A and B are shown apart, each in its own frame.
Chain A
Amino acid sequence: MRYSGLRVITEGLFGNRGWTPAWREPSPKAEYDVVIIGGGGHGLSTAYYLAKNHGITNVAVLEKGYLGGGNVGRNTTIVRANYFLPGNSEFYSHSLKLWEGLEAELNYNVMHSQRGLINLFHSDGQRDAFVRRGNAMINQGDDAILLDREGVREHLPYLDFGNTRFPIYGGLLHPRGGSARHDAVAWGYARGADRRGVDLIQNCEVTGIDIENGVVKGVQTTRGAIRAKKVGIVVAGRSSQVAAMAGMRLPIESHILQAFVTEGLKPVINHVVSFGMGHFYISQSDKGGLVFGGDLDFYASYAARGNLPMVEHVMEAGMTLMPMIGRAKVLRSWGGIMDMTPDGSPIIDKTHVEGLFIDCGWNYGGFKAVPASGWCMAHLMATGEPHEVARKFRLDRFATGHLLDEEGTGSQHNLH
């Protein structure tokens, strides 16, 4: 069924009886050309582009819970292309371009809103770093505008400009940055993949990977064995466990990242804003809730809930930057499991097993990467060659010393 404005009106007139399910609920077949493990944003977009770009439709996505129940449905939805290093820069630029056409592509309203992202800076040194980053963005063909203090005031009059401890020197505005509706992105890709013949299989946990003589043969699941010519591991925070089924030890440590949302308010914050002196960033959802977050809880964890010190830190940082939010009531907080790599950059690569591929290490920046990651993973799985914009996301770059340490914080998993 094609979605359109006219359809919404007609269905409204006739009691909304004509809507059909957005995807089928198939039982797993005995064999597929490609099995994707993980029905998050990256797994679903990989399946979609395998079908769309490469005509490979005998594909199953195996999800242990429900589609979109992982990080893709529990993140703060910032979409941006403000990376610096060659390798990252072209990849996120490609992703942002895909975002810009995503609604038409998927015939699904993902509520992508390019409301502008402003990263604030609070010292001369930080300004220099942002000037450099802004130039890198412009060189990549994306947009960046350096705002001085008065320029920031025009956009964000509600900040505490009188703060003498963390004075606001200015900000880097990325006008094409913004946010999107996370569930809709998962659902849109799921529906698109299903319509092209991909089987989306929920409540199906992969418990083993079958390998014979160094070649992948299929997977063991809670719904039986499934044979496959190619298998992709796309399980974000659970990457270490699933890769271990193929005898791999990954350069990943899983950490918790929390986020918070307040009661719905009238429009008050029009941009995505990040504080340069504490771990805090914020935007307002279309429903009106202020959505904000900070940094990792900092120690390895698989508990999908956070610890209190980071809650306190985030609230303090928010109050320091924009005291007006002190009156808003926080409704919910939650945590997601992040697959942190030692350089903060992702992996899209083959493995030592023939036919087995891996897409992981998205840290806390994997939502904006959903379109390009699926695009590049599908390219790799279909052609056996890395896609041009993802060629540096190699699994062996740690061993060979070709790290992509965007923030320059060193080989420690929780520092990125």
Chain B
Amino acid sequence: MRLTCPLCGERDRREFYYYGAEDYLRRPAEGAPLAEWDNYLHLRDNPAGVTKDLWYHEAGCAQWLVVTRNTVTHEISGVELVAERKA
């Protein structure tokens, strides 16, 4: 599998660190109810099909990426910078 980093271009999967589903981007506010923390840390849709997850370009530009990916075929349909998404 290869990922196309928006800054570095197409690179080998081994340059990237996988963190988990994009749920990690929705961090609850301080003091949020426990159920929200459970949702954020543990519960996952875990689809067999298209998903969005977080990867870190560890051996490249050191940017966090949101990758749109099919978990059954390993087809990659989009890679965006987390930094640009938030802006």
- A interface list, Cβ under 8 A from B: 238, 240-241, 244, 249-254, 298-303, 307, 309, 342, 398-400, 411-414
Q: Which chain B residues numbered 11 to 36 have a C-beta less than 8 Å away from chain A?
A: 12-14, 18-21, 34-35
Question: Which residues on the A side are within 8 Å of B46 (C-beta)?
Answer: 240, 250, 252-254, 300
Q: Are A303 and B41 in contact (CB under 8 A)?
A: no
Q: Are A399 and B35 in contact (CB under 8 A)?
A: yes
A250–B45 Cα distance when bound, in Å, is 7
Tell yes or no: B77 within 8 A of A by CB: no
Q: Are A299 and B53 in contact (CB under 8 A)?
A: yes
Q: Are B74 and A301 in contact (CB under 8 A)?
A: yes
Interface centre among A240, A253, A303, A400 (most CB of B within 10 A): A253
Question: Which residues on the A side are within 8 Å of B48 (C-beta)?
Answer: 238, 241, 254, 302
- Min distance, Cβ B81 to any Cβ of chain A, angstroms: 19
- Min distance, Cβ B44 to any Cβ of chain A, angstroms: 5
A124–B44 Cα distance when bound, in Å, is 38
- Min distance, Cβ B34 to any Cβ of chain A, angstroms: 6
- Min distance, Cβ A247 to any Cβ of chain B, angstroms: 13
Q: Are B13 and A302 in contact (CB under 8 A)?
A: no
Report which of A301, A302, A399, A412 forms a contact with B19, defined as CB distance below 8 A: A412
Given known pairs A252-B44, A303-B72, A412-B19, the reply for A398 and B38 (CB within 8 Å) is yes
- Min distance, Cβ B7 to any Cβ of chain A, angstroms: 20
Question: Which residues on the B side are within 8 Å of A300 (C-beta)?
Answer: 18, 20-21, 46, 51, 53, 71
29 contacts between A and B (CB under 8 A): A240-B45, A240-B46, A240-B47, A241-B48, A249-B39, A250-B44, A251-B38, A251-B44, A252-B46, A253-B21, A253-B46, A299-B18, A299-B53, A300-B20, A300-B21, A300-B51, A301-B71, A301-B72, A302-B48, A307-B1, A309-B13, A309-B14, A398-B38, A398-B43, A399-B34, A399-B35, A411-B41, A412-B19, A412-B20
Question: Which residues on the B side are within 8 Å of A251 (C-beta)?
Answer: 38, 42-44
A240–B48 Cα distance when bound, in Å, is 9
The prevalent SS among residues of A at the interface is mixed
Q: Are A298 and B18 in contact (CB under 8 A)?
A: yes
Q: Are B13 and A253 in contact (CB under 8 A)?
A: no
- Min distance, Cβ A385 to any Cβ of chain B, angstroms: 25
Question: Which residues on the A side are within 8 Å of B39 (C-beta)?
Answer: 249
- Min distance, Cβ B56 to any Cβ of chain A, angstroms: 12
Question: Which residues on the A side are within 8 Å of B38 (C-beta)?
Answer: 251, 398-399
Number of interface residues of B (CB under 8 A): 27
- Min distance, Cβ A290 to any Cβ of chain B, angstroms: 26
Q: Are B43 and A250 in contact (CB under 8 A)?
A: yes
Q: Are A249 and B71 in contact (CB under 8 A)?
A: no
A342–B34 Cα distance when bound, in Å, is 16
Interface centre among A244, A249, A307 (most CB of B within 10 A): A249
Nearest to B24 among chain A residues (CB) is A412
- Min distance, Cβ B76 to any Cβ of chain A, angstroms: 11
Report which of B13, B20, B41, B71 forms a contact with A254, defined as CB distance below 8 A: B71
Nearest to B37 among chain A residues (CB) is A399
Question: Which residues on the B side are within 8 Å of A399 (C-beta)?
Answer: 34-35, 38, 42
Interface centre among B14, B20, B47, B73 (most CB of A within 10 A): B20
Question: Which residues on the A side are within 8 Å of B74 (C-beta)?
Answer: 301, 303, 307
A307–B46 Cα distance when bound, in Å, is 19
Q: Are A413 and B20 in contact (CB under 8 A)?
A: yes
A372–B38 Cα distance when bound, in Å, is 28
Nearest to B45 among chain A residues (CB) is A249
- Min distance, Cβ A297 to any Cβ of chain B, angstroms: 9
1/0 per residue B43-87: CB within 8 Å of A? 111111001010100000000000000011110000000000000
- Min distance, Cβ A91 to any Cβ of chain B, angstroms: 21
1/0 per residue B3-14: CB within 8 Å of A? 000000000111
